[in-house]
Amino acid sequence: MTDTDATLSDALGRISTAPDVDTLRSIEREFVGKDGVVASMLAAIPTLPPADRKGAGQSANQLKQAVLTALAEREVALGNAALDAERKGDGFDASLPPPRLERGTLHPVVQVTRELEDLFTSMGYMVLDGPEVELDEYNFEKLNIPADHPARDTQDTFYCNAPGSKATLLLRTHTSPVQVRAMEHLQPPFRAVVPGKVFRQETTDASHEHTFHQMEGIVIDRNVSVGHLIGAMKTLLRGIFKKDIEVRLRPGYFPFVEPGFELDARCPFCEKGCSVCKQSTWIELLPCGLVHPNVLKAGGLDPEEWGGFAFGLGLSRLVMLRYGIDDVRHLLGGDLRFLEQF
């Protein structure tokens, strides 16, 4: 074995067992570095007999190439090994099934809202939105509920005035303010529904929640009668319960409609009485009425020319009826065990 062969096998042996990249770097310096073995072999060439010089140069270069190739291969192998080790440490196992993906579902209130929006848009209604932080003026005044009106007591209100502001701000207690906003912005005749959140300062229990959902309906046209109102409510109930529902009207007082009604629906869940209708076969579902002339005026419309009807569908209540939910607090409680059922 020549000296060069011995050097080469020494280098390759050490490279193949080098434990890390730092060791490879120092082997690299030792053999092919500026002052390394190859460099001194090349430096010695001029001292050799001329006949040996060419061969010496060739063996130095072969040594250099072989060492560089072995270094590069070992470095790749070390990198792969490190990666494997890291994955094992993570518990990575390519043969395991992937973790279960959590799938979300639409909230039941959203599902029912969308269904009703589809129903109403198919009947020519627009879907409108209004501010949740509302002016007293729209929540009460323009709906024919002046400051000292007893109807205010039935809607315990969260006031949220900014210090120093002149207008009274509150969290809307119903979606009715959008009736007036719609009249102000739209050219009659029009029909609109307004789904949304409303707020009341109430002690919460199974049937009271400080935040719940309503869907307001408003139709403005010429010559609107109670007959139109009843017809529209029956169509609505058929759309919701997928069958014809008998209705009855009882007088109901709401300052923004005249006449005002409580519309009861024949219980869709039973024939002889059940827990939903409290054994009466009727459920109180839809307060409604013909829009009061003062409200039309507040919306900038002439009550001699225009009339209309309005209704306030309790969305939260409807969702509870539909799915047999017995506590309104489930709706906004955020408990996944509840929500995952929908």
Q: Please count the residues of this chain forming the interface with ligand DAH, following the rule CB under 6 A.
A: 12
CA distance 218 to 192: 5
CB 190 within 8 A of CB 153: no
Q: Which of residues 56-85 bind ligand DAH (CB under 6 A)?
A: none
130 vs 312 by CB, closer to ligand DAH: 312
To the question of whether residue 28 is assigned a binding role by annotation, the answer is no
Residue 174 CB, shortest distance to ligand DAH, in Å, is 3
Q: Is residue 195 within the footprint of ligand DAH (CB under 6 A)?
A: no
Q: Is residue 288 within the footprint of ligand DAH (CB under 6 A)?
A: yes
Q: Is residue 257 within the footprint of ligand DAH (CB under 6 A)?
A: yes
Q: Is residue 130 within the footprint of ligand DAH (CB under 6 A)?
A: no
**Using the rule CB under 6 A, which residue among 71, 310, 328, 331 binds ligand DAH?**
310
**Residue 122 to residues 42, 116, 224, 320: CA-CA distances in angstroms?**
91, 10, 20, 24
- Map 193-230 to HEC letters: EEEEEEECCCCCECCECCEEEEEEEEEEECCCCHHHHH
Question: x/- site string to ligand DAH, residues 207 to 236, per CB under 6 A?
Answer: ---------x--------------------
Q: Tokens 């009882």 label which residue? A: 250
Q: Is residue 312 within the footprint of ligand DAH (CB under 6 A)?
A: yes
Amino acid at residue number 130? G
- Map 134-155 to HEC letters: EEHHHHCHHHCCCCCCHHHHHC
Q: Is residue 296 within the footprint of ligand DAH (CB under 6 A)?
A: no
Q: Which of residues 169-188 bind ligand DAH (CB under 6 A)?
A: 174, 176
**Residue 18 to residues 13, 21, 32, 36, 84: CA-CA distances in angstroms?**
9, 8, 16, 18, 18
Q: Is residue 328 within the footprint of ligand DAH (CB under 6 A)?
A: no
CB 262 within 8 A of CB 287: yes
Binding residues: 258
- Please give the annotated binding residues for Mg(2+), written as ranges: 258
Binding site for ligand DAH (CB under 6 A): 174, 176, 216, 254, 257, 260, 287-289, 310-312
